[in-house]
Amino acid sequence: MIRQDAKVILDIVDLHARVEDQTILNGVNLKVRAGEIHAVMGRNGSGKSTLSKIIAGHPAYDVTSGTIYFQGENLLAMEPEERARVGIFLGFQYPIEIPGVSNLEFLRVSTNARRTQLGLEELDTFEFEDLVNERIKLVQMDPIFLNRSVNEGFSGGEKKRNEILQMALLEPIVAILDETDSGLDIDALRIVSSGVNQLAKPNTATILITHYQRLLNEITPDYVHVMNAGRIIRTGGKKLALELEKSGYEWLDAEPGNQGGLNHG
Amino acid sequence: MDEYLQWLDSLPKASGALKAIQLRGRESLKRLGLPNQAIEEWRLSDIAHLKKIIQYPYVKELNQIFDEENPIKSLVDNKIQIIIDSQDIHKESINLPKGIRHLNQSELEQSLGHSIEKCSFMDNWTVAMNHAATMEVLGLKVEGKNLPLIEIVIPSQRDSFIPTRVIIFVEENAELELTQIIQGSQNSVHSHVIEVHLGQEAKVNHGLLAFGEMNSSLMANIAIEQNARSNYSLTTVQEGWLFSRLEPRVVQIEGQAHTNIKGLQISKGKDQIATHSLVRFDGPEGTLDQLQKAAAADHSHCIFNGSIEVPRIAQKTNANQLSRNLLLSSNARIDTKPELEIVADDVRCAHGATVSQLEEEQIFYLRSRGIEDDQAAALIFKGYCQEILNCLPQNKDKTQIMQKLLRGMRK
Amino acid sequence: MNSENSVGELVSQPYKYGFVTDIETEKIEKGLNEEVVRLISSKKKEPDFLLQFRLKAFNQWKKMKEPIWANLGYPEIDYQDIIYYAAPKKIEKKESLEEVDPKLLETFDKLGIPLSEQKRLSNVAVDAVFDSVSIATTYKEKLAEYGVIFCSIGEAVNDYPELIERYIGSVVPSNDNFFAALNSAVFSDGSFVYIPKGIDCPMELSSYFRINSGDTGQFERTLIIAEEGASVSYLEGCTAPMFDTNTLHAAVVELVALDHASIKYSTVQNWYSGNEHGIGGIYNFVTKRGHCRGKKSKISWSQVETGSAITWKYPSCILQGEDSIGEFYSVALTNNQQKADTGTKMVHVGPRTRSTIVSKGISAGHSSNSYRGLVQIGSKALGARNYSQCDSMLIGDQAEAKTYPYIRSQQPQSNIEHEASTCRISEDQLFYLQSRGIGFEEAVSMMVSGFCRDVFNQLPMEFAAEADKLLALKLEGSVG
Ligand SMILES: Nc1ncnc2c1ncn2[C@@H]1O[C@H](COP(=O)(O)OP(=O)(O)O)[C@@H](O)[C@H]1O
Ligand SMILES: [Mg+2]
């Protein structure tokens, strides 16, 4: 939902970043207002996951110039856990397995960290179980997965549901979902997207990184951005996604002039 | 060296059911002398600790049973607890359920040292040390199934040397759940030897929890003899010792058995914690699953030496060994040395070893969910330990153990 | 499967390099003492620093004990029953090939290493070493145009004494181990390579070692120096006649790589391995070590070890320069009564140093094949990484495979990963290939070379095919 008078909650300004000796982001600009849903598309390797991990604060990437403001504050100055507590959430493209660490305990500790930030009481184990049991319905995940280790031995789809469950518990302000739809069958996709839709509020925003129109049929984006070689080179409405689905990304090679193309402001 | 011989002479006169092994042990000790670092198995060991043993008085009866500060009293309810707190084990006083009884004199004489011999442990220095000094043995025979857990608690006393000796004979088809808890206290030195014989199709789930305290040392040998189709699982945890050397050896005398070994060793401060394991297949179609984890913090040193021997007769053996190590400080040290000796062609053997720090990606994942750096590391470290603790017998509440493991590990 | 029998009946391919060249040689008396060391040095008209180097090594050696930890189980070697110097008589001067004894040229012809102007290999410069004495080096002039020095150690001692004095013993100290000390005292000849700054050596360099006498110990020494930004690929091949006594071969190879330099050292070792009863064959005790002294330098060892009755060899890398790289790719095949104990040491000293170890051991017959490795990460090696993989394949139920990978780490910001497996050629796989019309022997050699593929890929082109053939030959008759 676009409301021009809504507050800008995430503002990425001319972001350059690299890993080791390799430059990956080449000046990304993106403004996200409350209530909006943005889709980011683009070829593999164009830098989408890198952008999302930098927003979340992954230590492997060096931001060489540019800034990210979150609700007016300099996000880059915050530790990853602070970012999560103030309301940044990244649904990982490849959620990592952590053997031996109980999923339930993990969810509880992280939920309480966010609640403390929001000035809410921490939940004890019983209260938390009630909360989880309520939220888990949203993603229709078998509670059995709560007693396993974090993501360990989960199938691709189960990992993605676990990510959305975390989102439901943390109630972020900006949720970035990196290819959450990849590898999901149609039913799972519906479940995940209805979860995302239910969690969207007028004061929150969502960034969807995806390759597929089918997710955008379920969650309607306000803006569609195309990323290439570490920058956003085109921005449009949901029609752009349809176009991309039809014609692919080959036009990128044919139209070098498009580099640095328009970006909504 | 003089001191060493003097100490040997100071031991009580060899007598009783153990006379033969006492004499043998003393003879071996004389012949072997104190180990030195030129001997491969002792190359990495801090030999100075061994010398401490001979400085301590020989203890006949312990007067301090539990370390008050860190008692691990009991892990489960439904169990038989045997506390070896003296050199006179009051056999009568232990209430054993049906299906389990004490070995009688002639059984003891017959079986004592049998598995030790099978495991080529007779000339092992730490076994000889135990045999030379031990005055009493706890001998059990297990004949039934579905028995309550047997929990053998071995407490300690400050500034003392404590030798303890156990033998368990598990009959064909019998099943046993066994937990041993060894507790060190300040300046104590433990020497422990246990041999377990598994009859055909017998099943043993064996846990050994060894928690040291300030300046304590442990030398423990585990000798396991497995008959065909038996199933033996061992889970060991070593922590808190200034010097700990655990040597589990398993021989599948006819192959066709299953062995499962899980180990966790955690060192900090200036600890040196070592595991030297050996598994030998003296028959075909045996299997082994081994996972050894070690974590070294501060100025400490963890050692793992894991031998697997697959002689010609052991066709169709399937053995897996994995050594996973965490190096948590730049002053700590990890040595890991798998040794595979294979002389049979139709076998599958795989082993692997890794040394690393806590995984950065995992830490980041937790941090991206709002969990503090240190807490994320602690959680992952806990998870690392949990995998081993889960294998302990009667898997109930392990928080107590976990707390012990985590003490002192946080930054 | 009836293949078991059919294969059992196949006889091992005879060792085709087992002939002896009848040539007059100058030998000194058997035995080793200080006089012998002085004699060797004076025969070679060496400068004093080298004589002192030898004498020091000899004195160290006298105090050392032969290592026994490798459990190779060979009979005691009587070091006084060995001749420490032998040289073909007509070798003194060899300004041109015409002056080289034609019998020697013929020998190398027969070994497939023609040296004469017309026949020599087109893109490989060869240093031919006969009984530890270099008899000819091809393409010297062409290499000289690039400033590359490629000659025998003996020549280098006279022509470039300052380089020798500076580098000899700098990677493998004379007291490094028993056999290195022995070599340092009595080494005869070997190859010397010097690649000047910034030069990418224009051709492959190769030394071919031929042992001819039965009672003479063989002690060559190789020294390769790659200056800043230089690179070279060096190959080493070796064969020996069949004698029913054992010949001692104790060589030392030292490599030095400065900043951004790279040295690739490949070996195909095919010394005579003794007969099927374990009679005769070479005792091969070799110390090979490379020192990555400069930053971003790289040393890569590849070896195909198929010969020798006994092999004791651990080509190693000291990774001192930051970001330097060490590699070890090895195929060791043992058959009959052969014993091989080989592996590598990767010593990470500098930050961000990386090493890769790939070892493939194949044991057949009654042989024994051990991998022994050390990966050591020192406390300053921040960000160091190692990956090791060592696989064994057993052929027949009388062969032994042993693996001793030893890891030591003192640096938490480092990663070490080791994987190992043991397998055999599965009957199902064999059957599958056979059911597609592939002959049994061929199927076996296909699987063996598949097993070794990762290593063969590292060998220079000419060698890879050679190595493949060599393995197939060696294995013939051993399967079943
Ligand atoms: N940690 C990393 N180390 C090295 N290269 C990386 C790393 N992360 C990303 N890259 C490289 O950056 C580029 C962009 O990757 P990524 O952001 O994952 O793209 P996308 O998500 O759009 O497919 C790729 O070339 C990728 O290989
Ligand atoms: Mg991506």
Q: How far is the CA of A45 from the centre of ligand 1 (A)?
A: 6
Kindly write down the DSSP assignment for every residue of C319-377, as one continuous string: E-STT-EEEEEEEEEE-TT-EEEE--EEEE-STT-EEEEEEEEEE-TT-EEEEEEEEEE
Q: In the prediction, which pLDDT does C437 show?
A: 67
Q: In the prediction, which pLDDT does B186 show?
A: 87
Kindly tell me the burial class for residue B307, based on how many C-beta atoms sit within 10 Å of its own C-beta (0-12, 13-18, 19 or more): middle
How close B365 gets to chain A, by Cα (Å)?
7
B342 vs C69, C402, C414: nearest CB: C402
User: Quick check: C406 and B315 CB within 8 A?
Assistant: no
Q: How far apart are CA C136 and CA B176, in angstroms?
A: 75
> What is the number of the ligand 1 atom nearest to the C-alpha of A227?
22
Q: How far apart are CA C281 and CA C248, in angstroms?
A: 9
Beta bridge partner(s), residue C422:
B349, C392
Q: In the prediction, which pLDDT does C24 show?
A: 74
User: Quick check: B332 and C410 CB within 8 A?
Assistant: yes
Q: For B39, name the nearest residue in chain C, comparing CA atoms only.
A: C69
* Residues B241-251 pLDDT 10s: 999 999 999 99
Q: For A152, name the nearest residue in chain B, comparing CA atoms only.
A: B383
CA–centroid distance for A262 within its chain: 23
B344 vs C397, C405, C406: nearest CB: C397
- The region of weakest confidence among A254-258, B171-175, C57-61 is A254-258
Which SS3 state, helix, strand or coil, does residue B274 take? strand
Q: In the prediction, which pLDDT does C330 show?
A: 94
Amino acid at position B247, single letter: E
Residues 362-381 of C with CB under 8 A from B: 377, 379
Q: In the prediction, which pLDDT does C251 show?
A: 93
Q: What single-letter DSSP state applies at residue C30?
A: B
Q: Ligand 1 pocket: which of A15, A18, A22 to mutate (most atoms <8 Å of CB)?
A: A22
Between chain A and chain B, how many beta carbons pairs sit less than 8 Å apart? 84
CATH numbers and ranges of domains, chain A: 8-254 (3.40.50.300)
Q: How far apart are CA B19 and CA C80, in angstroms?
A: 52
Ligand with an atom nearest the CA of residue A51: 1
Q: Where do the structural domains in chain C lie, given as residue ranges?
A: 17-432
Give the residue, by CA position, lying nearest to ligand 1 atom 26: A45
Question: Splitting chain C (480 residues) into consecutive groups of 10 residues, what average pLDDT does each group show?
Answer: 30 60 79 92 92 96 85 81 79 59 75 70 76 76 92 91 95 94 92 95 86 81 96 85 81 97 91 82 92 97 89 95 96 90 96 96 90 94 94 87 93 91 74 68 75 82 71 64
Q: How far apart are CA C420 and CA C409, in angstroms?
A: 19
Residue pair B34/B155 in contact by the 8 Å Cβ criterion: no
Which SS3 state, helix, strand or coil, does residue A140 take? coil
Put simply, whether A104 touches B (Cβ < 8 Å) is no
Q: In the prediction, which pLDDT does A96 show?
A: 87
Closest by alpha carbon to B89, among B153, B150, B175?
A: B153
Tokens of A132: 């989880």
Which SS3 state, helix, strand or coil, does residue B130 take? helix
User: Quick check: B364 and A80 CB within 8 A?
Assistant: yes
Interface test with A, best of B293, B359, B367 (most A CBs within 10 A): B367
Interface test with C, best of B331, B343, B360, B361 (most C CBs within 10 A): B343
How close B327 gets to chain A, by Cα (Å)?
18
How close B383 gets to chain A, by Cα (Å)?
3
C41-70 per-residue burial string, b: 16 or more CB within 10 A, e: under 16:
beebebeeebbebbbbbbebbeeeeeeeeb
Say what the ipTM of the complex is. 0.81
A254: Cβ contacts below 8 Å, ≥ 6 apart: none
User: Quick check: A57 and B368 CB within 8 A?
Assistant: yes
Tokens of A7: 């507050």
CB under 6 Å to ligand 1: residues?
Answer: A 19, 22, 24, 42, 44-50, 60
Give the residue, by CA position, lying nearest to ligand 1 atom 21: A49
Q: How far apart are CA B138 and CA B87, in angstroms?
A: 10
Across chain B, how many H-helices and E-strands are there? 9, 18
How close B408 gets to chain A, by Cα (Å)?
20
B178: Cβ contacts below 8 Å, ≥ 6 apart: B149, B150, B151, B152, B168, B196, B204, B205, B206, B207, B393
* Residues C370-407 pLDDT 10s: 999 999 999 999 999 999 999 998 888 888 999 999 99
Give the residue, by CA position, lying nearest to ligand 1 atom 13: A45
A81 vs B362, B367, B387: nearest CB: B367
User: Quick check: B371 and A109 CB within 8 A?
Assistant: yes
Residue pair C298/C56 in contact by the 8 Å Cβ criterion: no
* Residues B83-113 pLDDT 10s: 887 666 655 567 788 899 999 888 988 899 9
Residues of B in contact with C409 (CB under 8 A): 325, 327, 333-334, 355
Give the residue, by CA position, lying nearest to ligand 1 atom 18: A49
Q: Ligand 1 pocket: which of A15, A25, A26, A49 to mutate (most atoms <8 Å of CB)?
A: A49
C395 vs B332, B345, B357: nearest CB: B345
pLDDT band at A264 (very low <50, low <70, confident <90, very high): very low
Kindly write down the DSSP assignment for every residue of C263-288, as one continuous string: EEEEEEE------TT--SEEEEEEEE
How close A81 gets to chain B, by Cα (Å)?
4
Which SS3 state, helix, strand or coil, does residue C111 take? coil
What average pLDDT does chain A have? 89
Residues of B in contact with A150 (CB under 8 A): 365, 383
What average pLDDT does chain B have? 88
Residues of C in contact with B348 (CB under 8 A): 421-423
* Residues A99-136 pLDDT 10s: 878 899 889 988 999 999 999 999 999 999 999 999 99
Kindly tell me the burial class for residue A250, based on how many C-beta atoms sit within 10 Å of its own C-beta (0-12, 13-18, 19 or more): exposed
R_g over Cα of chain B: 21
Closest by alpha carbon to B46, among B323, B273, B212?
A: B273
How close A204 gets to chain B, by Cα (Å)?
17
Which SS3 state, helix, strand or coil, does residue C251 take? strand
Residues 383-402 of C with CB under 8 A from B: 392, 394-402
Q: How far apart are CA B203 and CA B258, in angstroms?
A: 10
Put simply, whether C407 touches B (Cβ < 8 Å) is yes
Tokens of B99: 């299906």
C461: Cβ contacts below 8 Å, ≥ 6 apart: none
